[in-house]
Amino acid sequence: MKAKLIMNPHPMTLRPTDTVATAADRILKHHLRHLPVVDEQGRYLGTFSVYSLLKLTLPKAVLDKYGLDNVSFVTESVEDLAQRLGKRRDEPVKNWINIHEVARPDTHAMEIMLLMLHGRTTSVPVVDKATNRFEGIISFWDVLEKLIGENK
Amino acid sequence: MHGSSEAASAVLFGLNPMWVAALLFALTYVVVMTEKINRAIVSLLAAGLMIVLGILNQEAAIRGIDFNTIGLLIGMMVIVAITRQSGIFQFLAIWAAKKVDARPWGILVMISLVTAVTSAFLDNVTTVLLVVPVTLLITEELKVNPYPYLFAMIFSSNIGGTATLIGDPPNIMIGSATGLTFNDFAYNLSPVIIVIMAATLIPIYFIWGRHLKATPEDRQRVMQFDEYGAITDARLLKQCLLVIGLVVAGFVGARFLGLEAATVAMTGAALLLLLANWGRDAEHQSKHVLEAFNEVEWITIFFFVGLFIVVHGVDGTGLLKLLADKMLALTGGDLNATAMVILWSSAILSAIIDNIPFVATMIPLIKAMAPTFGGPEGLMPLWWSLSLGACLGGNGTLIGASANLVVAGFAERAGQPIRFVQYTLMAFPIMLMSIAISMVYLYWRYL
């Protein structure tokens, strides 16, 4: 089975200029973990996720790849953290997206599952190789449904 | 001494070995500078070619490798690899910041001192790698520009590293090649290093320091940091401090004990590995020992190995002796003039090129001058000139020392990039000031 048959072709997406506040609102309201960011030409730019929100809440110094691996000495309160997130609510989401491993419309089911396992992610965007057009998204639940459906 | 007798085949397709060696050597320098090919690959390849082309044989090549330098570097890298896990570096940085009530300028001074003192005993790259993230967190909390802090840290790590035998690779190489001890370095270099450190903070204060301001609320946030929370493993910390104490005592007493620095460092590393792995089962021991060994910067180590062979090959052809004679002819065999030429040229060259190959070349070159200045004893001022020039010169540009590039990497990722030209415009004059201070010191004390 190939990606285009498993994916959800009309998921909720974001525009790169949407604000962090808009993204956070959608994530909370719909309990989503990943929102693909797609430009006006329909090209996939990356994914804004719950992890982007976590990053927005933390100081930049702890996010660096060689940054602090232990912050147990910092005694900030939830209010301090909320304040940091609050200050960044009007930033465009394009500054906070991650480029995920993507599947192609003809990628096979096993490779998609491996992408999820290795990437520790529950959803994989499906993107056309030649045009970078966003085609849809495959969530862990889509895969599971097909798997259990096949077994029935 | 080790001239043609060591050559494997002196024929070399009929070419003059001196020029083949010189060409290979120059090529090594150029390719390392372009940074297109990893420097360890370049130096090992050049070393291999030195042997294949018959400039020296394998036996001579191995004799050329200074295993005292290699052992000291590896030993200290293992000790640092284990110590960094204890959280002591973060502890020191936070403790220092709180000592000055989280005042922005006070923090800059304290972080600089912590960096300088730590760099004097541990390698500069590790020091900045561990202190920069805490500093960035503190400046973010204080909402002050991190640039002056990072700038000051580059300087203090290179300045602090100059103070001791084990602080910076040039000193390790000089100490190893000359038999100068830890105490010799501390006694001869630390006085001027203290002056240079203080003097460096003056321009930093006038350019940035006096403008640094933070609100009481933001300072309060830093004051609420719990430095003891940074210590992740108190037992490990005690073991590390014990071993570092013993190692430093070993360096201080090295001459009295008849020990070389590499023995002290490697034995210290083995002892710390033993303590840290005490009570672990075989499988966990293997895992942790491997982790510590993986932290050794093998690129640097193999770069050294190849370089020692290349320089030994060049030295064997008499080229460096020739250069030394040329330099002496230029200075008229005058000690003052020679010391000044070495000090200033090594400072300026080290700002532009890697100081490790430079110092590796200068060591045999200076040794060849011994007869002119009345034997090895007479060379003392020249060794201090080389050390001060090569270590402090690294501050001059962003590519002058590896620690500079590590700091610049952090700055870039934090969205506060340190630009090459902008950095050089500030740093080069401050570096020249430190060399001028060194010059006065050398004149006053030795010349």
Q: Do A64 and B133 touch (CB under 8 A)?
A: yes
Q: What whole-number percentage of chain B has pLDDT above 90? A: 68
| B307 in any annotated domain | yes
Chain A residues lying within 8 Å of B228, measured CB to CB: 73
Chain B residues lying within 8 Å of A75, measured CB to CB: 224-226, 229
Q: Do B229 and A64 touch (CB under 8 A)?
A: no
Kindly report the nearest CA distance between residue B212 and chain A, in angstroms: 19
| CA separation, residue B337 to residues B129, B327, B331, B334, B378 (Å) | 39, 10, 6, 5, 14
Total structural domains in chain B? 1
Q: What ipTM was estimated for this complex?
A: 0.74
In this structure, is the dihedral angle defined by the CA atoms of residues B146, B152, B156 and B158, taken in order, positive or negative? positive
* pTM for this model (two decimals): 0.84
Kindly report the nearest CA distance between residue A131 and chain B, in angstroms: 30
Query: Quick check: B177 pLDDT over 60?
Result: yes
Chain B residues lying within 8 Å of A71, measured CB to CB: 137
- Looking at residue A99, what is its pLDDT? 83
Closest CA to B429 of B93, B118, B229, B151: B151
Total structural domains in chain A? 1
Tens of pLDDT, residue by residue over B189-209, are 999 999 999 999 999 999 999
Which residues on adjacent β-strands are paired with residue A14?
Answer: A37
Alpha helices of B100-215 — where are they, by DSSP H?
Answer: 104-121, 124-142, 147-162, 169-178, 182-207
| CA separation, residue B309 to residues B3, B12, B188, B361 (Å) | 14, 18, 30, 11
Nearest CA in chain B to A84: B141
Residue A47's identity, in one-letter code, is T
| B345 in any annotated domain | yes
| B165 in any annotated domain | yes
A102 confidence band (pLDDT: 50, 70, 90):
very high
Q: Which domain holds residue B336?
A: 4-64+88-230+297-445
Tens of pLDDT, residue by residue over A26-42, are 999 999 899 999 999 99
Name which of B225, B232, B410 is nearest A64 (Cβ-Cβ): B410
| B271 in any annotated domain | no
In degrees rounded to 5, what are phi and psi of residue B351? -70, -25
Q: Do A59 and B141 touch (CB under 8 A)?
A: yes
Chain B residues lying within 8 Å of A70, measured CB to CB: 87, 90, 230, 232
Tens of pLDDT, residue by residue over B29-46, are 888 878 789 989 999 999
Tens of pLDDT, residue by residue over B257-267, are 889 889 999 99
Kindly report the nearest CA distance between residue A77 and chain B, in angstroms: 10
A-B CB pairs within 8 A amount to: 58
Closest CA to B270 of B254, B252, B253, B246: B246
Q: Do A66 and B415 touch (CB under 8 A)?
A: no
For residue A27, the tally of other CB atoms under 10 A from its CB is 20
Tens of pLDDT, residue by residue over B369-413, are 999 998 888 999 999 999 999 999 999 999 888 889 889 988 888
**CATH number, position A73:** 3.10.580.10
Query: Quick check: B2 pLDDT over 50?
Result: no
Q: Which domain holds residue A24?
A: 3-151
- Looking at residue A151, what is its pLDDT? 61
For chain A, the residues whose C-beta falls within 8 A of a C-beta of chain B are 59-62, 64-68, 70-76, 80
